[in-house]
A and B are shown apart, each in its own frame.
Chain A
């Protein structure tokens, strides 16, 4: 049973299609839900929580139908929204305990888990003070705590590092990683910041304009591409041209040349030699030669190409 599965999930607003026939299956772990702002990440989360009705298609969370069993789903999942959502005039302890009870926990358990969870997210003495006086970082911790207090099976975090300074960002990402690996809770992290997702997620779901771009393990996103990246000190066009003349597929892009090595008949090492020889012949200083790896950004570039081709 997948953690989450959607079939042809579509959400249309007047004039905008937020989700366009999205079909995806997600297995437990720390999952990055990546896409630009407006790609449909938040819409997807809200449909999965049963907060928004889908226009068409189906979504299941923990094998429960989000359209008809939303109440049961919401008992078992936690949700940290993107925007501010905390009342300023109550303390973190009071608020998180209240949210625990609203999640269905009896009051004794609610108090106990509130103390536990606030400690786990790193709120100590300040938890008895009104939330209104907290820093952004502390507020994000309270938001995380309220989503975690009822020990959910799945946690939905919408842009959890929003508004945090670099140190706060690191701490939040470390916490998320700990929740996934140590607490054993499946975490869906929606973010437009690929660099952050890369640090915590083991699996990625990339969406763009409400459509699934790709879903794969993080390592397969960043594996070797079968291309050699040659960076030079000057314009690289002549190098690409000379390599081309030798029958090697190469294209220049400013001061870099991308050389295809996977498909080359003469083998990898012959190509290294060719690059070296031609660079020497041109008197072109080299800065580096390396196997090119996929970058997460490529995902969106390629996605754009596919779209035009379709």
Chain B
């Protein structure tokens, strides 16, 4: 316990100091959970290796928008391969990868290493805990589901000869862009956290997310190819196709590659199916976290 002289001076044991500053209560607790969650989603404060997948996904998600805007700036209006409607469908594979890599980080270790009693003995409840995790992942997902499409939007407007006129033309798409970005983020975050909350290890959680999204997507594609009745139900084996159908129902405009177009099922059914996906996710979360004793 001897105080050793250091460059900055000497360290003294000044005894215990009480804290009489502000206590932010439940709001502070939830804020801390969300911001810590966001840092985890993007691998901040962690090793370089844990930044590869989230930031790689963001870069790949932005690339089509960057290329489209660049071509527009350099060569005028040439490329309409990517539209506000089909953009998320085209980069669809990135979202499950992002969720599979980052959602387990948020929830699996807290359960596996029994950290939850520490959280629940703070000024927040189980609902607050789960909600803050879903919000953190959802905010992170917006970097894939909203930011690139917004970039495309800005490019369309700012690269135009007449910015004001272009803004007038494009502004009508903005609510759809925002709504669609939120829709994807909320559904994917809820589903992702729900799946991961059931897994005992992070690797299992990642595998389960990939299986449900990618295998569903592949089966959906096979069903679409095979035609007939299978083509009708094809979108419903793939969560991303269900969300795409809901997007088309809510905001309009088909994504050509999506199995939704090939199926004759009325669009409101996709809205309903999306709602069912959300309710199932939330039911899983409610049951899962109620069952954990502290």
Interface string of B109-121 (1 = CB under 8 A from A): 1100111011111
Number of interface residues of B (CB under 8 A): 34
B114, B119, B125: the one contacting A71 at CB < 8 Å is B125
Our count of residue pairs bridging A and B at CB distance below 8 angstroms stands at: 101
**CB pair B19 A146 closer than 8 Å:** no
**Chain B's nearest CB lies how many Å from the CB of A101?**
4
Considering the complex, give the chain A residue whose CB is closest to the CB of B18.
A151
A75, A85, A146: the one contacting B23 at CB < 8 Å is A75
Bound Cα distance from A51 to B119, whole angstroms? 11
B22, B45, B118: the one contacting A81 at CB < 8 Å is B118
Chain B contacts for A89, CB-based, 8 A: 109
**A residues 85-134 touching B (CB-CB < 8 Å):** 85-89, 94, 98-99, 101-107, 109, 113, 116, 119-120
B15, B28, B122: the one contacting A74 at CB < 8 Å is B122
Considering the complex, give the chain A residue whose CB is closest to the CB of B47.
A89
**CB pair A150 B19 closer than 8 Å:** yes
**CB pair A104 B21 closer than 8 Å:** no
**CB pair B113 A75 closer than 8 Å:** no
Query: Contacts A94-B45, A99-B122: A104 and B19 contacting too (C-beta < 8 A)?
Result: no
Task: Say yes or no: is B99 at the interface (Cβ < 8 Å to chain A).
Answer: no
Chain B contacts for A74, CB-based, 8 A: 121-123
A103, A109, A116, A120: the one contacting B122 at CB < 8 Å is A103
Chain A contacts for B29, CB-based, 8 A: 101-104
Task: Say yes or no: is B32 at the interface (Cβ < 8 Å to chain A).
Answer: yes
Number of interface residues of A (CB under 8 A): 39
A83, A102, A151: the one contacting B124 at CB < 8 Å is A102
A87, A103, A109: the one contacting B21 at CB < 8 Å is A109
B22, B31, B115, B119: the one contacting A86 at CB < 8 Å is B115
Task: Say yes or no: is A188 at the interface (Cβ < 8 Å to chain B).
Answer: no
**Chain B's nearest CB lies how many Å from the CB of A151?**
4
Task: Say yes or no: is A56 at the interface (Cβ < 8 Å to chain B).
Answer: no
Task: Say yes or no: is A183 at the interface (Cβ < 8 Å to chain B).
Answer: yes
**Chain A's nearest CB lies how many Å from the CB of B28?**
4
Task: Say yes or no: is A214 at the interface (Cβ < 8 Å to chain B).
Answer: no
Bound Cα distance from A98 to B38, whole angstroms? 13
Chain A contacts for B109, CB-based, 8 A: 87-89
**Chain A's nearest CB lies how many Å from the CB of B113?**
5
A sample of 8 inter-chain contacts (CB < 8 A) reads A51-B121, A71-B26, A71-B124, A84-B113, A84-B114, A99-B118, A102-B122, A109-B19
Q: Can you list the 6 inter-chain pairs with the closest CB atoms, starting with the nearest?
A: A101-B32, A151-B19, A79-B121, A104-B28, A104-B23, A183-B16
Which of B's residues lie within 8 Å of A, judged by CB? Answer: 13, 15-19, 21-26, 28-29, 31-33, 36, 45, 109-110, 113-115, 117-125, 294
